[in-house]
Chains A and B, each alone.
Chain A
Amino acid sequence: MSDGDVETNSNPLGPLITSRLVVVAGKGGVGKTTVTAVLARAAADAGRRVLVVELDGKPTLDGWLSDVEVRHISASTSLEEYLLDHGFRRIAKRLTKTGVIEVIGTAAPGIDDLVVLGKIKQLERSGEWDLIVVDGPAAGHAVTFLTTPAGLRDAVSSGPVAEQAEDVLAMLADPARCSIVLVTLPESTPVNELLETASAIRCRVGAGLGPVVVNRLDEGPEPPDPADVDFGRATVQIDDARAAAAFRRERIAVQADELARVTDEFATVIRLPWRPVADLGPTDIADLAAALETTPEAPESSSESST
């Protein structure tokens, strides 16, 4: 319990996350959306004003977080909004209607990513939210998405695009404003990709890395070694039970090795347990969010640096 801790109270997720904006990223299938929901749930339960931003237009989160505001941000509406805000009010509609917007997008590739980031930056600056969680693009795309502003700043020397790029870069570079939460699974390929993505984000994006989330960790109960189990007089299905035990034990062992590779590399690692259901519901999210508080093993008063 850390309710008396002033430091913890000023941050929605206590010592885990210190920035106002969190971008959740990881390769497809690792459970980015689950992690987004869990972080939002935990912060909302702590009484914070939370906003969830979805980028891909998949309304997956609506049912999970009934009391948290979820906004869908798309490139085309952001670009239109951006034009409206930048003195192109009269012409914005016609630009959209004639398809010139599409050409603008191609003339300056990445401008759609930039306007989305610009929109997020606007929300972050508004001060309306204590925590904004973005359900980010897949790992490979996340690096492209986040390096876009630097690329555009270098390509476009002046004008509103260059200004926007500068503003977004300032936000990304400030660990008090923004951090990237990478999600992985305790398996060798996802962990390899986590390490690659983390180094790309450190070197090429210049953004701060928040905690790393290891999702779907099988926390048991681990069945005993089948060789040591006395099945008594039972004869049926013994082989099935043995195979199931061996399978579970091997998976837990493999996961422990992969988890160790993650904890060796990163200071703060959040472990989310595997839930043996195919479809997570609101209750599962709430349970996972509650588990989040007890997850970090380091003492809460530690003077851990953010790398």
Chain B
Amino acid sequence: MTVLGDVVGRSSVVVCCGSGGVGKTTTAAAIGLEAARGGRRVVVVTIDPARRLADALGLRDGLSGEPQQLPVDVGDGEMWAMMLDAPAMFERVVRANAADPDQADRIVANAFYRNMATALSGTQEYMASEALYELHTDERFDLVVVDTPPSRNAIEFLEAPGVLTRFLDHKAFKLMMLPTRTGLKVFGAATQPMLRLIGKVVGSDVLGDAVAFFQTFAGMEVGFRERADAVATLLRATGTEFVLVTSPQRDALVEAAWFADQLSERGYGVATTVVNRVHPRFGDGSVADARKRADAAADSGRAELAATWANLAALREVAERERAEVEALLGHTGAPVVDVPLLPTDVHDLDSLDHLGRYLFAVG
């Protein structure tokens, strides 16, 4: 069994993480496809607004916010995909936690809530972790593959489950929730002027919406907090594996190394590192050897042959430099590295995904 094949076989959650533009989405899709071929019922969740998974799966009309079974032949397994609709997911969570439909309606209609559901930094990550949990507990699936949002800071996904509860614990939040009574005790005499001041900066209507939201929200914290804890537990569970995806570009490698360190500091392990788009090496020969042949051909006036050998030398040199960079920056993590060679064409349909899968799950 190959390294990544082993990961796919034993886990119930695979989290693909890494910086943007490194092929995270297509890697998640290829992992899902391989697991489905192995007889598992897989759902791949993507968050990317650019709809790259839909591209990779050749779905021209894109994906919806509900899991959708893909018409691909995977034997006994099943391959599903879903695109995260963060605002819709947020509303579902609110409705699930509200005491009654009226409370939910009032929250959903609030302008502050609407801003938060669409624009709060971390909302996408938060909802991605909610979706992960929801699908994990859905009996239709036995493996959930998550393609994490292209955050500025990839670690946000791990912190996401607590994003709202941390906010609820904030002193300032408590102040807004009860601006006339308890808040005074927390903040002392400065409370009211402070609120007025915030109102001056952001405008009193915005402040009014915020206060109304927090007051309506009262009573729902418990449910939100319990869910956040459950998601955090799932991310640490034995069946959850992290696959770190990167490209051989230096900036992506630096970020991947940083992310691997953050994961290990928090007690999560990187199961596998996938380095996408590595230049192929073209055989075992050396750069120097290819260059020597190019020089010899040039000396004997055979320009075409010289150009052919020079090209081999140039591509081998690029491949070697890339591998040296990967080793220098990621070697210390100890996670096995799977190289996926750069294809001359872009991955955009199932056939090319298969090609990617062949390298990801190659034996030897």
CA separation between A100 and B322, bound complex, in Å? 46
Quick one: closest B residue to A251, CB to CB? B344
Are the C-beta atoms of A240 and B283 separated by less than 8 Å? yes
A164 to chain B, nearest CB (A): 10
B307 within 8 A of A: yes
B311 within 8 A of A: yes
Are the C-beta atoms of A106 and B167 separated by less than 8 Å? yes
A268 to chain B, nearest CB (A): 24
Pick the contact of B55: A88, A111, A192, A226 (CB < 8 A): A192
Interface centre among A107, A193, A242 (most CB of B within 10 A): A107
Q: A29-B22, A99-B172, A103-B170 are in contact. Are A138 and B201 (CB under 8 A)?
A: no
Pick the contact of B311: A27, A158, A223, A277 (CB < 8 A): A223
Are the C-beta atoms of B50 and A196 separated by less than 8 Å? yes
Are the C-beta atoms of B285 and A138 separated by less than 8 Å? no
Classify chain A: how many residues form its interface, as a range: 35 or more
Residues of A within 8 A of B38 (CB): none
Quick one: closest A residue to B209, CB to CB? A107
Specify the main secondary structure of chain A where it touches its partner: helix
B222 within 8 A of A: no
Q: A244-B311, A245-B311, A276-B318 are in contact. Are A107 and B282 (CB under 8 A)?
A: no
CA separation between A237 and B287, bound complex, in Å? 12
Are the C-beta atoms of A156 and B202 separated by less than 8 Å? yes
A139 within 8 A of B: yes
B348 within 8 A of A: yes
Are the C-beta atoms of A138 and B318 separated by less than 8 Å? no
Are the C-beta atoms of B21 and A29 separated by less than 8 Å? yes
Q: A103-B170, A278-B325 are in contact. Are A161 and B280 (CB under 8 A)?
A: no
A102 to chain B, nearest CB (A): 7
Are the C-beta atoms of B308 and A245 separated by less than 8 Å? yes
Contact stretch, chosen from B112-120, B131-139, B266-274: B112-120
Known pairs A239-B283, A243-B283 / 17 extra A-B pairs, C-beta < 8 Å? A56-B152, A99-B172, A102-B170, A103-B172, A106-B116, A107-B202, A107-B206, A107-B210, A112-B121, A140-B50, A156-B205, A160-B201, A162-B203, A241-B308, A247-B280, A276-B318, A278-B248
| Chain A residues with a Cβ under 8 A of chain B | 27-30, 33, 56, 58, 60, 83, 86, 88, 91, 95, 98-100, 102-104, 106-112, 137-141, 144, 155-162, 187-189, 192-193, 196, 221, 223-224, 226, 228-232, 234, 236-237, 239-245, 247-248, 250-251, 254, 276-280
| Chain B residues with a Cβ under 8 A of chain A | 19-22, 48-50, 52, 55, 111-112, 115-116, 118-121, 150, 152, 167, 170-173, 176, 187, 194, 197-198, 200-203, 205-207, 209-210, 247-252, 280, 282-283, 285, 289-290, 293, 302, 304-305, 307-312, 314-318, 321-322, 325, 344-346, 348
